[in-house]
Amino acid sequence: MDLTTYYSLIHFLTTHSMPTHLDTQQRASIKQKARYFIILNDQLYKKNKNNPNRPIRVAKENEIEDILYHMHSDPLAGHFSIDEMGKNRCNEPLHPIKVGQPFDRLGMDIVRPLPKTKNGNMYIVIATEHYMPPRIPKRAIN
Protein backbone atom coordinates (compact mmCIF):
# COMPACT_ATOMS: atom_id res chain seq x y z
CA MET A 1 0.00 0.00 0.00
CA ASP A 2 1.28 3.49 -0.76
CA LEU A 3 2.58 5.38 2.27
CA THR A 4 0.09 8.25 2.07
CA THR A 5 -2.90 5.91 2.20
CA TYR A 6 -1.26 3.71 4.86
CA TYR A 7 -0.52 6.56 7.27
CA SER A 8 -3.81 8.33 6.52
CA LEU A 9 -5.73 5.17 7.45
CA ILE A 10 -3.69 4.77 10.65
CA HIS A 11 -4.32 8.43 11.54
CA PHE A 12 -8.06 8.16 10.88
CA LEU A 13 -8.48 4.84 12.75
CA THR A 14 -6.54 6.00 15.82
CA THR A 15 -7.74 9.62 16.14
CA HIS A 16 -11.13 9.43 14.35
CA SER A 17 -10.17 12.58 12.45
CA MET A 18 -8.85 13.12 8.94
CA PRO A 19 -5.29 14.23 8.23
CA THR A 20 -5.33 17.91 7.25
CA HIS A 21 -3.23 17.51 4.08
CA LEU A 22 -5.90 15.46 2.24
CA ASP A 23 -8.29 16.97 -0.30
CA THR A 24 -12.04 16.23 -0.28
CA GLN A 25 -11.79 13.26 -2.64
CA GLN A 26 -8.93 11.67 -0.66
CA ARG A 27 -10.84 12.15 2.61
CA ALA A 28 -13.88 10.38 1.18
CA SER A 29 -11.68 7.54 -0.07
CA ILE A 30 -9.97 7.09 3.34
CA LYS A 31 -13.31 7.15 5.16
CA GLN A 32 -14.73 4.51 2.79
CA LYS A 33 -11.64 2.26 3.02
CA ALA A 34 -11.31 2.56 6.81
CA ARG A 35 -14.16 0.14 7.52
CA TYR A 36 -12.06 -2.71 6.09
CA PHE A 37 -9.04 -2.09 8.34
CA ILE A 38 -8.06 -2.26 12.01
CA ILE A 39 -4.98 -1.27 14.04
CA LEU A 40 -3.16 -3.95 16.06
CA ASN A 41 0.15 -3.23 17.82
CA ASP A 42 0.55 0.02 15.84
CA GLN A 43 0.32 -1.91 12.55
CA LEU A 44 -2.42 -1.67 9.91
CA TYR A 45 -4.32 -4.90 9.24
CA LYS A 46 -7.08 -5.67 6.76
CA LYS A 47 -10.10 -7.42 8.23
CA ASN A 48 -10.24 -11.02 7.04
CA LYS A 49 -13.82 -11.89 6.10
CA ASN A 50 -12.93 -15.60 5.74
CA ASN A 51 -11.31 -15.79 9.19
CA PRO A 52 -12.13 -12.77 11.38
CA ASN A 53 -9.70 -13.94 14.09
CA ARG A 54 -6.73 -13.71 11.67
CA PRO A 55 -6.51 -10.23 10.14
CA ILE A 56 -4.06 -9.71 7.28
CA ARG A 57 -1.10 -7.37 7.87
CA VAL A 58 -0.87 -4.60 5.28
CA ALA A 59 2.56 -4.22 3.71
CA LYS A 60 3.79 -0.69 3.00
CA GLU A 61 5.17 -0.12 -0.49
CA ASN A 62 8.71 0.26 0.90
CA GLU A 63 8.51 -3.21 2.54
CA ILE A 64 7.51 -5.17 -0.55
CA GLU A 65 11.03 -5.79 -1.89
CA ASP A 66 12.19 -7.22 1.47
CA ILE A 67 9.07 -9.38 1.77
CA LEU A 68 9.55 -10.83 -1.72
CA TYR A 69 13.21 -11.54 -0.98
CA HIS A 70 12.41 -13.33 2.28
CA MET A 71 9.56 -15.32 0.71
CA HIS A 72 11.36 -16.34 -2.48
CA SER A 73 15.14 -15.93 -2.40
CA ASP A 74 16.22 -16.28 1.24
CA PRO A 75 17.81 -19.70 1.99
CA LEU A 76 14.97 -20.41 4.44
CA ALA A 77 12.25 -19.19 2.07
CA GLY A 78 9.02 -21.06 1.54
CA HIS A 79 9.26 -20.51 -2.22
CA PHE A 80 12.47 -21.15 -4.10
CA SER A 81 13.41 -17.95 -5.95
CA ILE A 82 11.19 -15.98 -8.26
CA ASP A 83 13.03 -17.35 -11.32
CA GLU A 84 12.52 -20.95 -10.22
CA MET A 85 8.81 -20.41 -9.55
CA GLY A 86 8.24 -19.49 -13.20
CA LYS A 87 9.69 -22.69 -14.66
CA ASN A 88 7.44 -25.42 -15.96
CA ARG A 89 8.62 -28.32 -13.82
CA CYS A 90 6.18 -30.79 -15.38
CA ASN A 91 8.19 -30.82 -18.62
CA GLU A 92 11.60 -31.26 -16.99
CA PRO A 93 13.10 -34.72 -16.47
CA LEU A 94 13.15 -36.05 -12.91
CA HIS A 95 16.45 -36.23 -11.04
CA PRO A 96 16.37 -38.83 -8.27
CA ILE A 97 18.35 -38.08 -5.12
CA LYS A 98 21.23 -40.52 -4.68
CA VAL A 99 21.61 -41.61 -1.07
CA GLY A 100 24.13 -44.25 -0.04
CA GLN A 101 23.20 -45.16 3.53
CA PRO A 102 20.91 -44.04 6.37
CA PHE A 103 21.42 -40.43 7.51
CA ASP A 104 23.47 -39.47 4.41
CA ARG A 105 20.80 -36.92 3.52
CA LEU A 106 18.35 -35.26 5.90
CA GLY A 107 15.62 -32.75 5.11
CA MET A 108 13.71 -30.42 7.39
CA ASP A 109 10.69 -28.18 7.01
CA ILE A 110 9.09 -25.86 9.56
CA VAL A 111 5.47 -24.72 9.46
CA ARG A 112 5.14 -21.64 11.64
CA PRO A 113 3.51 -20.00 13.53
CA LEU A 114 0.18 -21.73 13.93
CA PRO A 115 -2.49 -20.90 16.51
CA LYS A 116 -1.31 -22.14 19.91
CA THR A 117 -2.94 -25.41 21.03
CA LYS A 118 -4.08 -26.19 24.59
CA ASN A 119 -0.74 -27.94 25.13
CA GLY A 120 1.27 -24.91 23.97
CA ASN A 121 2.21 -26.28 20.52
CA MET A 122 2.41 -23.76 17.69
CA TYR A 123 4.91 -25.20 15.17
CA ILE A 124 5.14 -28.26 12.96
CA VAL A 125 8.68 -29.49 12.36
CA ILE A 126 9.06 -32.15 9.69
CA ALA A 127 12.37 -34.00 9.56
CA THR A 128 12.86 -36.46 6.71
CA GLU A 129 15.63 -39.01 6.43
CA HIS A 130 15.74 -39.70 2.68
CA TYR A 131 17.09 -43.23 2.87
CA MET A 132 14.18 -44.74 4.80
CA PRO A 133 10.72 -44.08 3.30
CA PRO A 134 8.44 -44.07 6.41
CA ARG A 135 7.87 -40.74 8.16
CA ILE A 136 6.75 -40.79 11.79
CA PRO A 137 5.42 -37.52 13.26
CA LYS A 138 6.59 -36.63 16.78
CA ARG A 139 4.79 -34.22 19.11
CA ALA A 140 6.85 -31.69 21.05
CA ILE A 141 6.17 -28.31 22.67
CA ASN A 142 9.55 -26.74 21.84
Structural domain boundaries, residue 114:
96-142
Integer Cα distance of 126 and 110 in angstroms: 6
Inside any domain, residue 82: no
pTM score, whole prediction: 0.54
The number of distinct structural domains making up the chain is 2
Query: Does 58 share its domain with 102?
Result: no
Average pLDDT, integer, range 33-53? 94
Domain annotation covers residue 85: no
Q: Is 41 left (phi over 0), alpha (psi -120 to 50) or beta?
A: left
Does the residue 119 lie in any domain? Answer: yes
Q: Looking at residues 124-138, what average pLDDT do you find?
A: 73
Predicted confidence at residue 12, as pLDDT, reads: 97
Please provide the average confidence, as pLDDT, over all residues in the chain: 83
Give me the helix-helix angle, 24-34 and 3-15, nearest 10°: 70
Q: Distance (Å, rounded) from C-alpha 40 to C-alpha 50? A: 18
Q: Which amino acid is at 2?
A: D
Mean pLDDT of 28-42: 95
- Whether residue 57 is found in the same domain as residue 8: yes
**Which pLDDT belongs to residue 86?**
56
37 located within any domain:
yes
